[in-house]
Amino acid sequence: MALQLILHDLSNKGTCFCLIFTDPNFKEPITNVTAPVGREAILSCVVQDLAGYKVAWLRVDTQTILTIASHVITKNHRIAVSHSDHRTWFLHIREVKESDRGWYMCQINTDPMKSQIGYLEVVVPPNILDYPTSTDMVVPEGSNVSLHCAATGSPKPSITWRREDGQFILLGNGMKNMSVDGPNFNITKVNRLHMGSYLCIASNGVPPSVSKRIMLIVQFPPMISVQDQLVGAVVGQQLTLQCQSEAYPKSINYWTRDKDEIVPQGGKYEPILLDNAYKVHMKLTINSVSPSDFGSYKCVSRNSLGDTDGTINVYPITSSSNSTGSNTKYKGKLRHNLGNDIFEGNQDMLKERDLKLRGRKETNGNEEDDYDDSGAASNGNSFILVLVLVTFTVYLHHHPQLRTLHPA
């Protein structure tokens, strides 16, 4: 008890000196504490008027005395005690374990004893259990798949599934989501689009969240698609044939000719394969196409589940620009020369005729009538003459045997 001296004035009896004893009390309740595993937890107990009394810390569930005043009683090396002016007493628990979770008592050794309790919550980051959690899976296309993820932690972790590549997860009925919640992830009639790495992510608000990578491999026989099955080429050009192949396990891919002969690599043939997961882009480049390169080509894809091929036929085409250009040039030149010969041969005749008409005009003195009549006649005669010459020239062109006359 705390001892207090009080001076009290009693009527008619003089002054009395009285001693009053005050018991210590708790000034405030113990605040509950939450601490992650491996960290330090500190519980505090605030006492007033302690005087000569002592404060002790106990573990409630085991009735174990941990500390008395400034002394540690337990043999647990992780326990310590400190105080602030004998008013606030701190219980230190270092490197907290899950087993430290529970109720702790702050006690004052009065008679009767006074005490109060506080709770230590120990939180545990999530941890994914290896044994019950699914591992990498290899399944045939069209089968049903069930992935499972098990995790521990406090509070109990929640499970989320995501694709590692960030793409949508394909669900039934054409639905797709970025994530799927729950420890079990089921896929009905799995197909090649489901192939990839999935992350099982466990989180409970206590950092850090953890994840496990599960690879889903879908096996299926090869499938080939050909965009252009008929390809034309000009002799001398560079030609590239293309096919798209899909298969898993990875396929062997190659090109063959008409009699299933494998197209050799090198020289004028350059086969190229571009891999992307289970897809292969097949290319065959033919440098400087020759007549022997026309025919049927096959892109072949083969794995342990089967094989398939796609056919591309290469046919010759003529260069329309070259053939048309030469014909046009030849015909144009022939027509141009023919026209020049005709008109060049008759221009002199027309000039001579015109001069004669002009001379007659000056002699007769009837300028306008004679010149107009003569011009009209000249124009008419010239037109007839040109027409006859053109007709005769065309006739000779189609009957070359008439060009040379032999004596009788």
Low-confidence ranges of the chain (pLDDT < 50): 1-11, 17, 19, 321-408
Q: Which residue has the tokens 């394969």?
A: 273
3-state SS, residue 40:
coil
Count Cα atoms within 13 angstroms, Cβ side, for 370. Answer: 14
How far is the C-alpha of 42 from the C-alpha of 294, rounded, in Å? Answer: 86
The set of residues, in sequence order, having a beta carbon less than 8 Å from that of 209 and lying 6+ positions away, is: 125, 126, 201, 202, 203
Q: What is the pLDDT of residue 276?
A: 86
Spatial distance between the Cα atoms of 289 and 309, rounded to a whole number of angstroms: 23
Measured CA to CA, the distance from residue 259 to residue 278 in angstroms comes to 29
328, 321 Cβ separation under 8 angstroms? no
End-to-end CA distance of the chain: 170
Give the pLDDT confidence score for residue 13 in this predicted structure: 53
pLDDT tens for 46-104 read: 999 998 899 999 999 999 999 999 999 999 999 999 999 889 999 999 999 999 999 99
3-class SS letters over 166-210: CCCEECHHHCEECEEECCEEEECCCCHHHCEEEEEEEECCCCCCE
Interatomic CA distance for residues 87 and 71, integer angstroms: 16
Give me the amino acid identity at 217: I
Instruction: List, in sequence order, every residue forming a beta bridge with 315; answer none if it has no partner.
Output: 232
SS3 116: strand
Q: Which of 10, 33, 7, 32 is nearest to 20 (CA)?
A: 7
Instruction: Look at residue 6 and give its three-state secondary structure.
Output: strand
The 3-state DSSP class for residue 399 equals: coil
The per-residue pLDDT for 375 is 41
* pTM confidence score: 0.64
User: 69-97: buried (b, 16+ CB within 10 Å) or exposed (e) per residue?
Assistant: eeebeeeeeebbbebeeeeebebbbeebe
Query: String of b and e for 101-126 (b: at least 16 CB within 10 Å)?
Result: beebbbbbeeeeebbbbbebebbbbb
Quick: pLDDT tens for 1-53: 444 434 344 445 555 545 455 789 999 999 999 999 999 999 999 999 998 89
Q: How far apart are CA 15 and CA 9, in angstroms?
A: 5
